[in-house]
Amino acid sequence: MKAIMRKRFIPTHYHRELLRKLQNLTQGSMSVEDYFKEMELAMIRANIEEDQETTIASCTNVASTLMVQKLGLETTKHPHPYKLQWLNDGGELKVTKQVLIPFSIGSYKDEVLCDVVPMHATHMLLGRPWQFDRKVMHDGYRNRYSFTYDGKKHTLAPLSPQ
């Protein structure tokens, strides 16, 4: 019934406008919790379903504690500490530190502010804040990310198996 009512009474451009708002949502000065709530609300309005772990993981840029320690990177106090539960098996984890990480992929050089958390799956995850701040376009078919940074067009693609 809900689907029939939507189809009959909601203009077709409304859904496109909701998706555009979701794609243009940036974290800016919002805390991770506020950004997550705003994104979750936009996803509900746009009728997009995603499991909670995927949504939470994509709401922030994350760096592993081990990488930060090994590289001797200086951390700062997180302006809006928050709790994560899904990253480890040890229960709830409080995120209290951030780190500015310089990195390069091919000719692309950048730096990104990441929350520091203990994780073993990878060293760094670039989430929606990085994607939206850089206006990254994802080609899901070819699994490539394209964007312009410092006036140069960049395309990131997975490495070929060797």
Averaged pLDDT of the chain: 80
* In the chain, where the domains are located: 1-58, 61-126
SS3 18: helix
For residues 71 and 123, the answer to whether their CB atoms sit within 8 Å is: no
Strands, sheet with 144-149, edge to edge from the N-terminal-most edge strand = 137-139, 144-149, 152-156
Q: Tell me the whole-structure pTM to 2 decimals.
A: 0.63
Chain centre to alpha carbon of residue 74: 22
Residues 90-134: tens digit of each pLDDT: 667 888 999 999 999 888 999 999 999 888 778 888 887 888 888
Surface-to-core class of residue 13, CB atoms within 10 Å of its CB (0-12 exposed, 13-18 middle, 19+ buried): exposed
> Which one is predicted more confidently, 88 or 5?
5
Residue appearing with tokens 């990488």: 67
Q: Would you say residue 60 has pLDDT above 70?
A: yes
Give the Cα separation of 131 and 133 in Å (integer).
6
Lowest mean pLDDT among 37-51, 74-88, 127-141: 37-51
> What pLDDT is recorded for position 120?
78
- Gyration radius of the chain over CA positions: 18
Residue at 17: amino acid letter: E
